[in-house]
Amino acid sequence: MKSLSFWFAGSGGLAVRRWRSSRFAALCALFICSFSLLTLAQEGTIVGTVTDPTGSVVPNATITITSIKTGQSRTLKTNESGQYVAPDLAIGEYNIQAHAPGFKIVERKNVVLNVADRARIDFAMQMGAAQETVTVEANAVRVQTDSGEVSDVITGQQVSQLTTNGRSIYTLVNLTPGASSLQADFQTPTPVGGDANVSFNGQRPGHTIYLMDGGENLDRGGSGTFSVMPSIESLAEFRVLSSNYSAEYGLSSSATMTTVLKSGTKTLHASAWEFLRNDALDARNYFNRRPQKVAELRFNTYGFNVGGPVDFWKSDHKTFFFYNMEWRSLIQGQTLNQTVPVASEYPDANGAGTGAVIPLTKPNGKPNIITVPTGIANLGANCPGGVPPAGIVSGAPFPNNTIPSCMIDPNAAALLAAKIFPLPTSGNQFQGGNNAPTNVREEVARADHQFNDKVSIFGHWVSEQINQTFGTTMWSGDNVPTIGNTFGNPSYSAVVHLTHTISSSLLNEVAFNYNGNRINILPKSSFGAPLAAPSGFTFNRIFTGPNADNRIPTIKLQESTGTQYTANWTPWVNKADDYQIRDDISWTRGAHQFKIGASWAVYKKIQDVFASTQGNFGFNGAYTGFDFADFLLGYTQNYSEDAVHDKGHWNNASWAAYFQDNWRFNQRLTLNLGLRWDGVPHTYEANHRSSNFYPNLYNPADAALFDANGHISPLSPGLGTSPNPILAGYQFYLNGIGIDGKGGIPKGLVDNHWAAFGPRIGFAYDLTGSGKTVLRGGFGTMYERIQGNDMYNGGTNVPFSATASFNNVSLSDPHTNITTGSKQTVPIVVPSITGLASNNYNLPVSYQYSFGVQQALGAKSVLSVSYVGNQTRHQNYYAETNLVPFSDLPGLVASKGAGYNQLVQFPGFRSIRLAENGANGHYNSLQLDLHANVRRDLMAQFGYTYSQAIDAASGNNGSGQDLNVITNPYVGWRYDSGPSVFDRTNVAFVNFVYDIPAFKGSSNRLLKTSLGGWQLSGIVTMQSGAPLNVTVGGSNDLSSILPTSGAGNIGNGNRPDLVGKISYPKTKVPAGIQWFDPTVFAAPAPGTFGTLPHNALRGPGRDNWNMALHKMFVFSESRGSSLEFRAEAYNMWNHTQFRADVISGNYGAALTGSNFGVITQAYDPRVFQLGLKLTF
């Protein structure tokens, strides 16, 4: 094949104009069905220098690199400086030969090349005949002499032999110095809903990028989780690049994790497996005491794979395949224990036509005398003559505690007849299972083909089908099993990667990648309840837009019953697709190893807005003293309805180019000099369906005028209309509102960033010249592609969406005010805005640096000791912009917000919550990493990190993710600056795989079979406690000064005053463990912010041992057939390890209460998993 010519066309596609090789085009057609968004290659590079016995370089020597796995070879020549570079090599073991005229052949055997590795293999030639060969066995672990990056590899042996809770790769990610985990013990076997909450070097977890075979495997907009979660059995290995790495990696300001799928070998091989977990094998949780039942757990993982040469009949194989199929089935026991109305309360439950009889006690056991409402305009509107029956007197108890049948709202009767609430199973409680079964089916296919010694190609296709069923509605307050969801999440990944070795010094790589997923959440009814509104129910909605599936409105019993029925905003659909094309050129010139590349990527997302067009009714007992009685009468305290349930079409493109020079300055010093450019225009809505608030567009002369009810007056200036036809005829207050692409507003609402230049500088200096002691360090500037949630969250902004809210209306007619009897028109509401701060929207960036030493300990172990640090800038968060004067806060708290709308900076708006990129942070650490192959039968890794991570607004919700609301917008993010939620002072881990040698080589077949072939492996983690944040509730969080729909943006998570010395009694109390002393905190003065620093307390640490015992039954060593039995235990010693993240008082709990500062949950007790794996 002489040449390739590509033509790039359109906004999202790539067309192949002309292929000079029809054979190549036929193979590519199998793969190039779609492309992906990624940022780098997944192979490794072998470099070296060839010298003669005097130390002089040997130019034009022949280097032959042969894969032990496939038998394929690459041949190249050393240049005039005696250097050779072999980039883009697949991971695995290699034999490497060097030969030149007048010298013996020198061979290095079993050279291990890991993912994203840069392995230096030098050759010292010896004088002699070319027929003579000098063979040297390579070291299994090498000192890194050619790069200053901070990274760590998790090898294939660790992936396959270490026990992973949930069979999840997420568990192994923590085996890297600098990693700090906020993960739960058990990982749900899905990417969405899985737990990728791991911070690297103090940075936010969502800023880590995940790659698979060089293609991006990241769910942007999903808090930075995987898009597909590959089976452990399909993974070859992975590397975490955590600091100051090469310029070819980008779009991440934190770590880059690059994984490699398994590929076929020159021999056919296959395996099948099943792993199971069952609660019958598990210990009991500390807080799950008898006679409580142990929560049900059934988890099965089973599958098979097969791989080998396609042309198996040949001795010189060119094409290899690997196929992996896995199923994961999970049932996790969850229980509902919810108060519900009892059958005797239903209308005419006694069949005597007397209406609804209310029991004499409330669910909480207090007297429950229901009262006839007062102030109702037409109390007996549906009764004969339009008046209530005799004996019904406003303000007096209902006679016999019974609501007459004529007073019962027909819509309430219809909903109860349709069984929207389940009947109680005991007393007035519904107690039943609420399991959420999860089923995953995943296919992984990879093919590798070598056309000749110059051109090769590989590609993969991964398809993951996830189906879950939830007994109650997801992401809502629904607490009855009559309405739930089905959750479908198909995800896909495809990669095609072509390599062309043009000469010994020039190589070109072209890659096309695709990564995407779908989320389909559909409502599901159970217990005989209908999904759509039942017969007899009359809709009288405010807006005329569609109501999908004719959904039943949300019914909230908000007083003592507390029951809530809601389909929420389902059905809900999300469709995301990433596409990328990249080209990378590697060129060796003298002592310089250049790599130059460019890429273009586009991300397309179609996502429904979160809207409940079916309406939301709230009954709080304001009329009768009992929420269910209010419901029966149809008297609603609060009602809201969204007008539009449509979708946004969000796009973003990313352009990148880089230059990297790995310069072998001399035999001891290598310099890594790189520069990366990222052009990252902001995400935009393709149909101009996005808006934002701009303070400079707000005209004070057009400040809103209000009517007597606090709504915006129709006579107010600053009014406008919506382009959405559903909202025709409605007016919106638009003073200060800009619509994307119009009137000079950027289509992404903020200015684009085209000049993100990031230098990358590193060095490796061999102190002694022996390659055993190397000083390494570097600096790098890494920019972050903002994921897009800052745009998606504004999907309900005016004028594209509207919400109507009314008080005191009827369940059958929310248009009518029940206290006045008058019809209500949709008011011009005072809107809230979620947007972006246009004058403070720089790209998030981190400045990373490190300095350390690597020391070889013998031939098989390497110790790294490093200082690793960074400075983060322009980290994003939400801040309230529409503030009242600070001096008015105490008075507004006292008056419950009276006059609030008139006092804000921008009258006409409630909350204006704008995303800002302004917070700073820093991280400093000492990191130790020891990789040791102690003997042939023992592999071990030890890691330790001593660190401090400081930032702001990354942990207000306890997750460590982006776009948290800062507490004090008057001061800004600095009020929340403190230890990061993922700041753990000490983190240590050990993992090992030990092949027990006893009886392994016994000549006695019985002893060898029964007592030989055992293996022990484990992961031990010890870490100090994570920070705790104490917050205050009630009026002290200042939310009460805002109208209901705008609450929470001033004083969000306000903290108490610190009035004593923090201490940790750790005493046992009835509810659990009293972790900290609650008496040293006091509520701040009304309208003020507390003095307690952010994340000032510490939770308990962990000491966790996960162990596995393996037994291998070998059927045929020559054929590689065996049966492996595995017994795995998580939290092997059943240590009680308390969970700090659920301490009452953390993340929003009130200062008072019996559980304040009490730990009420623990991590998992000992859990067993059993497995069998057949290999042949």
Predicted confidence (pLDDT) per residue in 1096-1134, tens digit:
999 999 999 999 999 999 888 778 899 999 999 999 999
335 pLDDT exceeds 90?
no
Structure tokens at 99: 């030969």
Q: What single DSSP character describes residue 113? A: E
- 491-549: pLDDT as tens digits: 999 999 999 999 999 999 999 999 999 999 999 988 888 889 998 899 889 988 888 88
pLDDT at 1153: 62
Do residues 760 and 778 touch, judged by C-beta distance below 8 A? yes
Residue 469 has pLDDT above 60, yes or no: yes
157 in helix, strand or coil? helix
List, as one string, the DSSP characters of 326-386. Answer: EEEEEEE--EEEEE---GGGSTTTTSSS--EEPPSB-TTSSB---B--SS-TTTTTTSGGG
Report the share of the chain in percent with pLDDT over 90.
62
Mean of pLDDT values over 633-649: 93
pLDDT band at 21 (very low <50, low <70, confident <90, very high): very low
Instruction: Give residue for tokens 């993982």.
Output: 301
Write the pLDDT tens digit of every residue in 618-630: 999 999 999 999 9
Instruction: Write down the pLDDT at residue 13.
Output: 36
Per residue in 55-64, pLDDT (tens digit) is 999 999 999 9
| pLDDT at residue 205 greater than cutoff 90 | no
**Residue 355: band (very low, low, confident or very high) from pLDDT cuts 50, 70, 90:** low
Q: Closest Cα partner for 727 from 801, 657, 677, 627? A: 801
Q: Tokens at residue 810, please?
A: 């009827």
Taking only the tens place, the pLDDT of each residue in 569-581 is 999 999 999 999 9
Burial class of 535 by CB neighbour count within 10 A (0 to 12, 13 to 18, 19+): exposed
The DSSP line for 1045-1069 is GGTTSSSTT---EE-S------EEE
CA-based radius of gyration for the chain: 33
Mean pLDDT within 890-909: 84
CA 222 to chain centre: 5
Inform me whether the pLDDT recorded for 29 exceeds 60.
no
According to the model, what pLDDT value does residue 559 have? 86
Residue 26 has pLDDT above 70, yes or no: no
Q: Among 690-699, 813-822, 1044-1053, name the one with the lowest average pLDDT.
A: 1044-1053
In whole angstroms, what is the distance from residue 707 CA to residue 724 CA? 26
* pLDDT of 783 strictly over 80: yes
CA 37 to each of CA 176, 258, 458, 654, 1102: distance values in angstroms, whole numbers, following the listed order: 26, 14, 17, 9, 38
Least confident of 112-121, 360-369, 565-574, 635-644: 360-369
190-199, 258-267, 271-280, 400-409: least confident range: 190-199
Q: Supply the pLDDT for residue 931.
A: 96
DSSP letter string over 532-559?
BPPTT-----SS-S--GGGBPPEEEE-S
Query: 572-589 and 1027-1028 as β-strands: parallel, antiparallel, unpaired?
Result: unpaired
Token digits of residue 1024: 């100090």
How much is the average pLDDT of 754-772?
95
Distance of alpha carbon 469 from alpha carbon 486, whole angstroms: 5
Contacts 24+ apart (CB under 8 A), 21-30: 21/451, 23/451, 24/451, 24/455, 24/457, 27/449, 27/457, 28/457, 28/496, 28/498, 30/447, 30/459
Task: Of 51-55, 80-84, 351-355, give the lowest mean pLDDT range.
Answer: 351-355
Residue 1008 has a pLDDT of 81
Q: State residue 340's pLDDT score.
A: 86
Q: What is the pLDDT of residues 1150-1161, one digit of tens each?
A: 455 667 888 888
Q: Is the pLDDT assigned to residue 127 strictly greater than 70?
A: yes
Would you put residue 1069 in left (φ > 0), alpha (ψ -120 to 50) or beta? Answer: beta
Region 591-605: what's the mean pLDDT?
A: 96
Mean pLDDT of the chain: 87
Q: How many CB atoms lie within 10 A of CB 306?
A: 16
Q: Identify whether 291 is preceded by a cis peptide bond (ω within 30 of 0).
A: yes
pLDDT class for 954, splitting at 50, 70, 90? Answer: confident
pLDDT interval class at 826 (50, 70, 90) = confident
Residue with tokens 């959904």: 551
Amino acid identity of residue 338, one-letter, is Q
> Which of helix, strand or coil describes residue 691?
strand
Which phi and psi (to 5°) does residue 763 adopt?
A: -150, 155
Token pair, residue 863, equals 């110790």
Percentage of the chain beyond pLDDT 70 is 91
The tens digit of pLDDT for each residue in 544-563 reads 888 888 999 999 998 888 89
Q: What is the pLDDT of residues 1010-1019, one digit of tens each?
A: 888 899 999 9
- Residue 1161: name the closest of 1103, 1078, 1094, 1100 by CA: 1100
What is the rounded CA–CA span in Å between residue 645 and residue 610?
A: 7
Q: Is the pLDDT of residue 738 over 90?
A: yes
Q: Which pLDDT score is estimated for 1038?
A: 60
User: What phi and psi values does residue 142 have, to the nearest 5 degrees?
Assistant: -120, 150
Burial of 1154 (0-12, 13-18, 19+ CB in 10 A): exposed
Name the β-bridge partners of 823: 816
Q: Strand 256-261 and strand 483-488: pairing? A: unpaired
pLDDT the model gives residue 1047? 37
Per-residue pLDDT at 316 exceeds 90: no
Return all residues near 992 (Cβ < 8 A) that are at least 6 apart: 938, 939, 940, 941, 1016, 1017, 1018
pLDDT at 845: 96
